[in-house]
């Protein structure tokens, strides 16, 4: 992808063909990603091109680039995906790009992940199980369960703003702990922490293989006998290059083999499946 390609796309956008333009950009960036150096250059060229100002009229892309909370994939961004509602009040041009980017397969996979989490939680809550959500964000999967959740139900997240959303929604019914999950997990077993369901969705995609293994082993230590640990991780997909180049959103993509190896190295049994989009791998583990 060169400046000339971006010039052509810029004209396309200005002619009112921004949805087609975004789709072309996604395909071209995806192709460029085959070659690491070329992709790095394509990313730099895009971010310095006037086309990027037009692309950033999309509130979803722009929020990701801005990282208002200082880290990628914050809960506000994830809320935009869940609600299919832009933050702020984009003009028609930005709105039309938003409608395309928010509908992409990766975003759909995140919405399906929420559906999965809702089912997981409602079964646990209905059965009176204890639950620990690691890197829980706004815990949107619990929104329909207000008044039904009972302690022990713990959410750990590093982001104080996200935790106040949970406290405002659930009051004292949920223990919301502000901590780095690694630090918290290191002392949790000593503090007598033990849960029937321990899960983490949207965190492992930021961990390298060594960190994932450490995290899995630590999390497994707070799983009660007969309980389970559930993780979900993105598989590579056709929008990943757009996310990286235009949204500065880099994930660690994994295969079933990677997830199986991780479970094995952690000394855990596992069961795996993919969602209907094929973009997210779910891994349930138990001792
Ligand atoms: C992509 S969001 C997912 C939130 C939620 N699980 C969901 O599925 O909607 C990732 C969350 O992980 C949290 N996070 C990232 N690294 C963390 C860490 N090391 N310790 C605690 N929380 C972390 C962020 O604050 C953010 O809320």
Report pLDDT digits (tens) over 137-163.
999 999 999 999 999 999 999 999 999
pLDDT tens string 76-126: 999 999 999 999 999 999 999 999 999 999 999 999 999 999 999 999 999
Q: What is the pTM of this model?
A: 0.96
Cβ-Cβ contacts under 8 Å for 136 (sequence gap 6 or more): 155, 156, 157, 162, 166
Residue 64: which of 246, 251, 239 has the closest Cα?
A: 246
- Ligand 1 close to Cβ of residue 75 (< 6 A): yes
pLDDT score of 2 more than 90 = no
Strands 280-286 and 223-234: antiparallel
The pLDDT assigned to 125 comes to 97
Ligand 1 center to 227 CA (angstroms): 22
Residue 68 CB neighbour total at 10 angstroms:
12
Smallest CA separation from ligand 1 atom 20, residue: 180
Distance from residue 205's CA to the centre of ligand 1 (Å)? 10
pLDDT in tens, 53-85: 999 999 999 999 999 999 999 999 999 999 999
All domains of the chain in start order, with CATH = 3-104 (no CATH), 106-286 (3.40.50.150)
Is the CB of residue 142 below 6 angstroms from any atom belonging to ligand 1?
A: no
pLDDT in tens, 257-283: 999 999 999 999 999 999 999 999 999
Question: Does 109 contact ligand 1 (Cβ within 6 A)?
Answer: no
Q: Is the CB of 78 under 6 A from ligand 1?
A: yes
Mean pLDDT of 218-232: 98
pLDDT band at 201 (very low <50, low <70, confident <90, very high): very high
Interval between CA 19 and ligand 1 midpoint (Å): 30
141: Cβ below 6 Å to ligand 1? Answer: no
pLDDT at 241 over 90: yes
Protein residue whose Cα sits closest to atom 27 of ligand 1:
137
Query: Average pLDDT of 10-21?
Result: 95
Query: Which atom of ligand 1 is least distant from the CA of 180?
Result: 20
The CB of 162 under 6 Å from ligand 1? The reply is: yes
Report pLDDT for 1. Answer: 79
Banded model confidence at residue 5, pLDDT cuts 50, 70, 90:
very high
Q: What is the pLDDT of residue 214?
A: 98
Give distance in angstroms: CA of 256 to centre of ligand 1: 22
CA of 12 to the centre of ligand 1 (A): 37
Backbone angles phi, psi at 227, to 5 degrees: -90, -175
Show Cβ contacts of residue 38 under 8 Å, excluding neighbours closer than 6 positions: 1, 32
Name the residue of 78, 121, 138, 157 to mutate for ligand 1: max ligand atoms within 8 A of Cβ: 157
Q: Is 136 in the pocket of ligand 1 (CB under 6 A)?
A: yes
Q: Considering the chain, what is the average pLDDT of its residues?
A: 97
């Amino acid at each position: 992808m060169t400046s000339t390609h971006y010039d052509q796309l810029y004209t396309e956008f200005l002619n009112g063909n921004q949805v087609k333009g975004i789709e072309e950009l996604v395909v071209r960036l995806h192709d460029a990603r085959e070659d690491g150096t070329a992709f790095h250059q394509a990313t730099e060229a895009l971010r310095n091109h006037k086309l990027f100002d037009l692309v950033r009229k999309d509130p979803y892309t722009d929020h990701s680039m801005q990282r208002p909370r200082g880290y990628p994939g914050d809960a506000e961004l994830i809320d935009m995906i869940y609600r299919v509602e832009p933050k702020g009040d984009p003009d028609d041009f930005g709105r039309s790009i938003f409608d395309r980017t928010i509908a992409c397969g990766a975003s759909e996979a995140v919405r399906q992940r929420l559906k999965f989490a809702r089912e997981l939680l409602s079964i646990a809550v209905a059965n009176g199980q204890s639950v620990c959500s690691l890197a829980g964000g706004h815990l949107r999967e619990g929104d329909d369960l207000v008044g039904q959740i009972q302690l022990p139900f713990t959410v750990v997240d590093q982001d104080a703003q996200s935790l106040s959303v949970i406290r405002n929604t659930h009051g004292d019914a949920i223990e919301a702990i502000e901590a780095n999950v690694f630090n918290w997990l290191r002392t949790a077993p000593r503090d007598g922490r033990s849960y029937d369901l321990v899960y983490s969705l949207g965190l492992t995609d930021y961990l390298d293989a060594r960190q994932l293994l450490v995290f899995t082993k630590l999390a497994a230590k707070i799983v009660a006998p007969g309980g389970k640990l559930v993780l979900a991780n993105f598989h590579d997909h056709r929008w990943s290059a757009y996310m990286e180049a235009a949204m500065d959103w880099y994930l660690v993509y994994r295969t079933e083999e990677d997830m199986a190896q991780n479970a094995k190295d952690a000394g855990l049994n596992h069961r795996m499946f993919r969602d209907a989009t094929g973009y997210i791998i779910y891994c349930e583990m138990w001792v």
